[in-house]
Structure 1
């Protein structure tokens, strides 16, 4: 994953080219990515083919879009590799949906392992509850981050679990995977009626200076002047809100659930 226009990618995330491939630069690039490129599932809803790896770079950089965790993390891995970092892919599964515990799809999530001077760090730019800075893979005590407190916990079967503010968020394999290993689960996400990102469900999320903006179907939650604002978007307001809060220009309106009866009047 090295055929990347590094300058164009850095411009996309508003970052300067790092002088060297060290931890400080990795942390800087991770935070810039999280604050510039949204997690979003519009293409799943619109039945647009999803590509990962260098194929996702074109979507994120050239078309200035976001993507799901596979798209975002493999695209970021391509940038890091082009800059000279040693990057590996790790497979995981979600353990919580923000409301309650669950056991998500096998291979349903992906994180990056980045090796710097013989030490490994965990990086994730495709998950709402991800840390904003790399997590030390070998550390088992709490790691403080701008997005909360994280712990890496060993499991009896050799995996690890990522705990964020006391909530078990992801179970992660420790063995390295090839990008092709994720293709079957990507096909499932794109085609299965049981997939959480097909049909009429839309998710989008972006870390913004005033606070995270989040979209679930028609409901937009954002912050303005220190206030948390929640609004339900009709068909006319939806594209403009997506452009303003996530920087995405939609060519067509996705399949959305009906407006709630109490919001239609």
Structure 2
């Protein structure tokens, strides 16, 4: 069997039994959606390939939060939205969906909560609101940091082994993990991305290896989507990545970045152009009746 059977509860796949909140996960449909035609083995090559395919196929967007709604993290709803519709999601949606796919492939996945470092004065000033994944690969001595839901130019395109002070290059981007001072009992890791324009390293987010559970992220998801002070509840934020560019719409600002460090910016003229851009450039069909740009 190449995918999961049509039963609920424990779902028998070609790579073992996977419990997905009593909801069957159709691995075949997911892999077709992201365009993955490679091997289906729990090994580093498959992990890297499926991670990159997910990043390039499924856009990042916050349209539910912009409408004041916390998006569902139920597996069936995630499949309906991200796999079967012209929609994307933000970190909790992407990484929850990806975790189910990885488990169906035979990987072991732990949910992590991270403090976003981008734009922060100090790490301690930010709560743990970002979801990342720790992935164990059978036979590998170290787990991998995987993350298909970080809406920034420093996002991982491929997972990296959990090793400190080693540079990793993946799909044209360079990353490294370093340890940072932390008062808690667990080591704190910081993901850094190389900025080719400045030829420097910048922090993306910090995390410990403390496991978090789905109910933790149900609360965090609701807070980030509905708190009026949350940036995701205030302005449109969409991201699309392919082999040659990183496209980001942040409010009215459209930014196009390229692997060589070239960056162009312009302001979106109005609501009609924003909706057209989402449809044609991001692969997102915005819900009818919603307002994308304020002011």
Distance 2:233 2:71 in 1: 12
8 Å Cα contact 2:274-2:292 kept in structure 1: no
Structure 1 residue aligned with 2:144, among 113, 116, 121? Answer: 121
Structure 2 runs not aligned, ≥5 long: 1-18, 195-200
Partner of 1:85: 107
SS of the residue 1:197 aligns to: helix
Q: Deviations over 1:168-222 (max 9, x none)?
A: 21111211111111122212112212111113x1111111233111101122223
8 Å Cα contact 1:43-1:49 kept in structure 2: yes
Structure 1 residue aligned with 2:280, among 229, 244, 252? Answer: 244
Partner of 2:155: 130
Partner of 1:192: 227
Identify if the C-alpha distance between structure 1 residues 18 and 154 changes in structure 2 by more than 3 Å, giving closer, same or farther. farther
Partner of 1:160: 189
8 Å Cα contact 1:111-1:124 kept in structure 2: yes
Does 2:204 correspond to 1:172?
A: no
Identify if the C-alpha distance between structure 1 residues 234 and 24 changes in structure 2 by more than 3 Å, giving closer, same or farther. same
Identify if the C-alpha distance between structure 1 residues 142 and 222 changes in structure 2 by more than 3 Å, giving closer, same or farther. closer
* Superposition map of 1:145-156 within 5 A: 145=170, 146-156=172-182
TM-score (norm 1): 0.87
Distance 1:183 1:109 in 2: 12
Does 2:52 correspond to 1:27?
A: no
SS of the residue 2:255 aligns to: strand
Identify if the C-alpha distance between structure 1 residues 154 and 115 changes in structure 2 by more than 3 Å, giving closer, same or farther. farther
Identify if the C-alpha distance between structure 1 residues 176 and 221 changes in structure 2 by more than 3 Å, giving closer, same or farther. same
* Superposition map of 1:1-265 within 5 A: 2=20, 3-16=24-37, 18-54=39-75, 55-97=77-119, 101=121, 103=123, 105-116=126-137, 117-118=139-140, 119-127=142-150, 128=152, 129-145=154-170, 146-156=172-182, 157=184, 158-165=187-194, 166-199=201-234, 201-222=235-256, 228=264, 230-252=266-288, 253-258=290-295
Aligned-residue offset at 1:101: 4.0
SS of the residue 1:161 aligns to: strand
Distance 1:11 1:60 in 2: 12
Aligned-residue offset at 1:246: 0.8
Q: Deviations over 1:11-34 (max 9, x none)?
A: 111111524110000000111111
8 Å Cα contact 1:93-1:109 kept in structure 2: yes
TM-score (norm 2): 0.79
Structure 1 runs not aligned, ≥5 long: 259-265
Distance 2:238 2:228 in 1: 20
Partner of 2:6: none
CA root-mean-square deviation: 2.2
